[in-house]
Amino acid sequence: MAKWCFNYESGEYEYIEKDGFSIDRGEYVYNWDDSEYRHDDEEEECRNSLFDDEDDD
């Protein structure tokens, strides 16, 4: 799912996939703000560490 991210090359917000593909431009962009994706990854990592099913005994 694409997120609304800032493309530093164009100076505009665009829908950009996690791999850097801009839906709006139909091409990959290389200088864009991926903080929304990094934030999601950090939240998921935190949730996974809280609900780790490993038994420590």
Residue 27 lies in a domain: yes
In a domain, 56, yes or no: no
Q: Is the pLDDT of residue 47 over 90?
A: no
Percent with pLDDT over 70 in the chain: 88
Q: Which residue has the higher pLDDT, 55 or 32?
A: 32
* The total number of structural domains that make up the chain: 1
Burial group, residue 45, by CB count within 10 angstroms (0-12, 13-18, 19+): exposed
In a domain, 55, yes or no: no
How many angstroms separate the CA atoms of 5 and 22, rounded?
Answer: 9
Beta-carbon contacts of 6 under 8 Å, excluding residues fewer than 6 positions away, are 12, 13, 14, 32, 33
Token pair belonging to 47:
């949730």
Report the distance separating Cα 57 and Cα 43, nearest Å.
Answer: 27
Percent of residues, the chain, with pLDDT higher than 90: 60
Whole-prediction pTM value? 0.70
